[in-house]
Every structure is written in structure tokens, then in C-alpha cells.
Amino acid sequence: MKRSLSDCRALVTGASGFVGAWLTQHLVDQGAEVTTILSEFNPRNQFAKLGLDKEIRCYYGSITDYNLIERAITDGKINTVFHLAAVSLQDLAYQIPWQTFETNVKGTYNLLEVCRVHQCQISKIIVASSDKVYGDSPILPYDENLPIQGRNPYDVSKSCSDLIAQSYRHSFNLPIAIGRFGNIYGGGDLNYRRLIPGTVQRLYAKLPPVIRIPSNGIYMRDFLYIQDLIAAYMAMYDYVDKEGEGDVFNFGTGTLWDIKKVIEIIQRATNLEHIEPLYEHQINSEILHQHLSPEKAKSILNWSAETSLEEGIRKTVEWYYDHWNSDPKNAVLGVV
């Protein structure tokens, strides 16, 4: 539904990422004035393809730079913050844990500290968290009352940033809502190391999809389509307010999927069911099963995922095929 966000002056960190570009486009379409902080400009990503750098105010530098964050917030008279900037890949976090902690932890407390100092102008803060904060909990599905207990580098970095956000809300009455999300997918995700885009890319090239197998079973995940995710961000935007109303919410479909089944759905969507997958043993194993309960978001925010996995994958496959057919060099394996 079309709505007016003409009174929203938003800082979106991580705007050039997969989710950030979708969220930024949505805010711009609704009339918001948007500012972002970019580490660099990548002409190949969705943010650039949409021309968003020409529609919003861009500052270039690190999300860990306190002075840069402060300048962006004061210059833009920011009243709303969407904090998405993060190192978001598990394998990358294993390779460069220090950078993961620097970005995900220092970036969060510097941003929230600027918001605390300029609290008089900030009315809404929405922080992106993750189902990884629950660690390898044997209790499924995860609900918001479970303890935060990440163990791997990425999981710990998100656990820390989540707790830091809770601390600023509790201690300084900042208007913060925290969204904990499962696996997000949809068109525009050019990180082909992720399951769905990587599988679609390999099938497009008529190569077998790769199923990563840990030593203790098969990965099972909850997959959330990008449009349902954007609706979740806007549900938190409508809920949080300057009087300190904020909370922590899980966002998922409530359904747990075996990744082999996910690949089968992708193969049906691409009409390439005859290609046999390859199995690859995983060295740095991730959490085996992760499943979020969306009941709190349903009851308080009146939010629920509306897109089935089959429908979401069909739309996602269509996006990638249109993207690659318009410029075949984009489909080369390894392009990110």
C-alpha cells in the first residue's frame, strides 16, 4: 500500500547491501528523505543499478567512524535510523573475525552513542539482528525469551550488537526496536556464496547445485522473502516511538526447511530437476537447525509472512534470469 513518509528523514546504514537497497528504495518510493554511509561505491550491486546513489545523500567512509556518523545524522537532521550495516557472511567472519567484530560491534555502539548524544532529534531506531544470536539452542522454535548465546565469530558479533542495542534502550530510553531475522532471500542478492542465489546461478550455468553437509546431519532453516522482510521493518517503524516504546521481535515464516528440499524447489522453478546436486563436506560447521517463532510479531505488530517459499523462489528465479539475460556477463560464476 502506498503511504507517505514525507516526514521521515532516515539514515540507512548498509544501504548498498541486498536488504539495504530494497529498504532504501521502499523508503524513497514512500517519500522519505534518506541518507547513508557507504564504505565504497560498487557499480555492479543493486544499489547502483537502481540509481539510489543519485536519489539519496551518501557519505563515504567507515560505519565505525564516530565523527562521520555524527556528521551524517546532524547534517541530514535525521529522525529515524535503520541500522543494517554488518559483515553478514559466516565464512567471511571465520576468515576475518577482527573485521567482523569491528564492523558489527564497534559500528553499532558508535552509531547508538551518536543517537544518545543527539537524542532530542531521534524518534525511531530499528536495529537488524539475527536468529544467530540464539546460538545452537536445542529449543525450537526460538522465541524472544531465550538467552543470547552466540559462539561462532558472526554469531557472537550479532549477539553483542543485539545486547548493546538493548542496553541503550534500557539505560538511556532510546526508542529502539530490534528485529531478529532468519535466512533472507530474493532478487538482488549478489552474494552467490549464499544458498539460494548460489544455487540459481549454478543452475543457470547448467552446473550441479552444491549441498553443504556438516558432519552431524543436514542444515534446516527458515527462509523469509525480501518483501515480507520490508513489511517487517515498516511494522517496527510504525511501532517504535520517541517515548521509548521498543522491543525485540523475531521475524520468520514459522516453517523449517531442509536445504535439500529448498534446492529441489529451485530446480523445479528453473526446470532443471534432472541435474544431480554435488555434496560438499563443511569444515566450519554452522548451527544445524534454526527456526524462529513469529508469534510475538503477529500478536503485537500484526505482522506475518505472506509469501510461500515456492512463490518467493519463483519470483527470485525470475529476477535473476531477467538480470542475467539482460547482461550475460553478470551471470559469470564468482561475480559478487
What is the structure's pLDDT at 284? 60
Please say if the pLDDT value at position 334 is more than 70: no
- Which of the residues are catalytic? 154
Share of the chain above pLDDT 70, in %: 96
**Average pLDDT over every residue of 7-20:** 97
Rounded-to-5 percentages of helix, strand, coil across the chain: 45, 15, 40
Number of domains in the chain: 2
Separation of alpha carbons 315 and 200, rounded Å: 12
Candidate from 12-26, 63-77, 124-138, 318-332 with smallest mean pLDDT: 318-332
Same domain, 174 and 25: yes
Same domain, 194 and 324: yes
CATH of the domain at 53: 3.40.50.720
Cα-to-chain-centroid distance, residue 268: 26
Share of the chain above pLDDT 90, in %: 78
CATH of the domain at 205: 3.90.25.10
Instruction: Evaluate whether residue 4 is within a structural domain.
Output: no
Please say if the pLDDT value at position 15 is more than 70: yes
Length of the chain: 336
DSSP string for residues in 195-257:
HHHHHHHHHHTT---EEEE-TTS--EE-EEEHHHHHHHHHHHHHH--TTS---EEEE--S--E
Domain that holds residue 152: 9-184+223-251
What is the structure's pLDDT at 333? 65
Q: What is the mean pLDDT of the chain?
A: 92
Same domain, 200 and 114: no
Please list the residues that pair with 278 across neighbouring strands. Answer: 210
